[in-house]
């Protein structure tokens, strides 16, 4: 009852200065709209850019690396192991790229509940023969369905589909850059030389375009069997095992554990793409900073308008106090005005922000580099709406707090006597 009265007075004060109140509310609306649109847009772009790399990067990659043994014989001899030994010109042992016992490893990984999926791969270097010149490239032999599920391969195959690889023998999906250089059309047969010197003929069934030009010049895909055949290796020959996890954050510890268990190398995504995470974080930080600045600026607008309102309404405040309203009541009235402005302006801002997001989402955005993107990406994460809503109330509360405090401190005698 009593609070209702204060609310009623707040409402009347606002209606009496409707235009001013509107200006304050529009300020909040504008800043919340911009906040939502900006964050949605920025994060949409962010996720797209992250996706460019992260979608295609396995969370953990197992492989054998050709490198010198860190445990040299001299370090094992009883006599010299406590010395500082300098050995020059160490060469790697004749280790192989092949992962031993790969099928057992894959089975173990697939049984791990933390693992979303496993995709084996064979990578090999080749030279594509174009007339008298050779173009170097990499052919990845992939388990097509697994690769497609885990790494969204079909998003990046602009012509043809990845499944064509399984249906046509000795087929290849060429990187767009390489294909342009070779003038290879779909259905053409191209010739490649393997690292062992064998010549093979492959039929082009599609183009691959990742958006990273350098990659598109080199990377091509073929089925696992095709590459094993090119290399003259048996079907157990696997050089990479790619793993996608349910929880990205588990990658470093799992990589460590399994590397020790299988005695092979394991790279986790965090280590490989550390600079990427940093970039994402900084872009996020910038968009939040800009958004919050907008809100604070609108907070000053509210502060100004409430301050002016209080100067205009000195008589009203004095009379309210004279007829028995306490300083606290007056304070509540003005805080209420601020919060109503914040709530109304903020709610409208959230709606307009959503509409702005939908609008941006419709804008065409076509670029060679990003074959799957047709319009600007927008992230409609409800978190931004929550943050925007809460922040609009918090800023308006603080914008109202100081004027309200001043109003509650008004001495009615000064006003009544002063006339």
Partner 1 sequence: MDNRTVLEAQNIDKFFYSPVKTQVLKKISFSINRGDFVSVMGKSGCGKSTLLYILSTMDTSYQGKLLIDQEMITDKSSSYLSRIRNEKIGFVFQFHYLLTEFSVLENVMVPGLKLGKLNREQLEEKAMEKLRIFGMEDHALKKANQLSGGQKQRVAIARALINDPLIIMGDEPSGNLDKKNSDIVFGIFKELATDFNQTLLIVTHDPDFAEKTDRTIVMEDGRIISH
Could you say whether residue 324 binds partner 1 (CB under 8 A)?
Answer: yes
Using CB under 8 A as the criterion, what x/- string covers residues 280-319 for binding partner 1? -----------------------------------xx-xx
CB 14, min distance to partner 1, A: 9
Provide DSSP, 85-151: ----S----S--SSPTTHHHHHHHHHH-TTEEEEEEEEEEEEEEEETTEEEEEEEEEE-HHHHHHHH
CB 409, min distance to partner 1, A: 10
Residue 133 C-alpha from the chain's centroid = 41
CB 396, min distance to partner 1, A: 21
- In the DSSP assignment, the letter for residue 68 is -
Q: Which stretch binds partner 1 (CB under 8 A): 195-203, 239-247, 287-295, 321-329?
A: 321-329
Among 101, 236, 278, 326, binds partner 1 (CB under 8 A): 326
Are 336 and 8 spatial neighbours (Cβ–Cβ below 8 Å)?
A: no
Nearer to partner 1, 279 or 412 (CB): 412
Could you say whether residue 176 binds partner 1 (CB under 8 A)?
Answer: no
Between strands 189-194 and 199-208, the pairing is antiparallel
Distance between CA atoms of residues 115 and 17, nearest Å? 62
CB 338, min distance to partner 1, A: 17
Among 79, 196, 263, 417, binds partner 1 (CB under 8 A): 417
- In the DSSP assignment, the letter for residue 373 is -
- Residue 76: CB atoms within 10 A of its CB come to 9
Q: Which stretch binds partner 1 (CB under 8 A): 8-16, 24-32, 95-103, 365-373?
A: 8-16
Using CB under 8 A as the criterion, what x/- string covers residues 394-413 for binding partner 1? -----------------xxx
CB 32, min distance to partner 1, A: 28
Distance between CA atoms of residues 171 and 204, nearest Å? 6
Nearer to partner 1, 224 or 337 (CB): 337
CB 375, min distance to partner 1, A: 49
| Backbone phi, psi, residue 173, to 5° | -105, 115
Which residues fall within 8 angstroms of residue 232, CB to CB, at 6 or more apart? 196, 198
Which residues pair with residue 267 across a beta bridge? 61
Which residues of the chain form contacts with partner 1 (CB under 8 A)?
1-2, 5, 9, 12-13, 15-16, 315-316, 318-329, 411-413, 416-417, 419
């Amino acid at each position: 009852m009593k609070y209702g009265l204060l609310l009623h007075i707040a409402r009347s004060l606002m209606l009496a200065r409707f235009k001013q109140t509107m200006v304050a509310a529009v300020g909040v609306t504008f800043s919340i709209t911009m906040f939502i649109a900006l964050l949605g847009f920025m994060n949409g772009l962010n996720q797209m850019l992250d996706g460019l790399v992260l979608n295609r990067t396995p969370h953990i990659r197992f492989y054998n690396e050709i490198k010198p043994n860190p445990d040299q014989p001299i370090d094992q001899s009883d006599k010299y192991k406590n010395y500082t030994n300098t050995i020059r010109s160490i060469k790697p042992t004749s280790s192989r790229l092949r992962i031993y016992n790969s099928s057992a490893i894959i089975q173990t990984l697939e049984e791990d509940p933390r693992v979303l999926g496993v995709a084996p791969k064979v990578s090999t270097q080749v030279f594509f023969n174009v007339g008298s010149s050779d173009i170097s490239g990499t052919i990845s032999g992939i388990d097509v369905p697994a690769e497609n599920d885990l790494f969204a391969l079909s998003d990046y195959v602009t012509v043809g589909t990845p499944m064509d690889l399984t249906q046509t023998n000795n087929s290849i999906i060429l990187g767009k850059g390489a294909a342009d250089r070779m003038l290879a059309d779909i259905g053409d047969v191209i010739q490649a030389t393997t690292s062992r010197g064998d010549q093979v003929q492959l039929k082009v069934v599609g183009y691959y375009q990742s958006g990273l030009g350098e990659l598109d010049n080199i990377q091509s895909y073929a089925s696992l069997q095709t590459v094993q055949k090119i290399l003259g290796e048996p079907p157990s020959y696997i050089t990479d095992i790619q793993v996608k996890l349910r929880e990205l954050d588990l990658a470093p510890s799992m990589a460590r554990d399994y590397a020790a268990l299988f005695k092979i190398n394991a790279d986790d995504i965090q280590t490989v793409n550390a600079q990427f995470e940093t970039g994402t974080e900084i872009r996020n930080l910038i968009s939040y900073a800009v958004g919050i600045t907008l809100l604070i600026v609108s907070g000053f607008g509210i502060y100004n308008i409430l301050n002016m309102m209080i100067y205009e309404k000195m008589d009203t405040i004095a009379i309210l106090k004279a007829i028995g309203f306490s300083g606290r009541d007056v304070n509540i009235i003005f805080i209420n005005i601020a919060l109503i402005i914040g709530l109304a302006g903020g709610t409208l801002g959230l709606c307009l922000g959503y509409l702005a997001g939908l609008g941006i989402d419709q804008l065409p955005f076509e670029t060679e580099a990003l074959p799957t993107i047709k319009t600007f990406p927008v992230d409609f994460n409800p978190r931004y709406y929550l943050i925007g809503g809460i922040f609009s109330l918090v800023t308006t509360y603080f914008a109202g707090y100081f004027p309200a405090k001043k109003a509650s401190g008004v001495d009615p005698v000064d006003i009544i006597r002063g006339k």
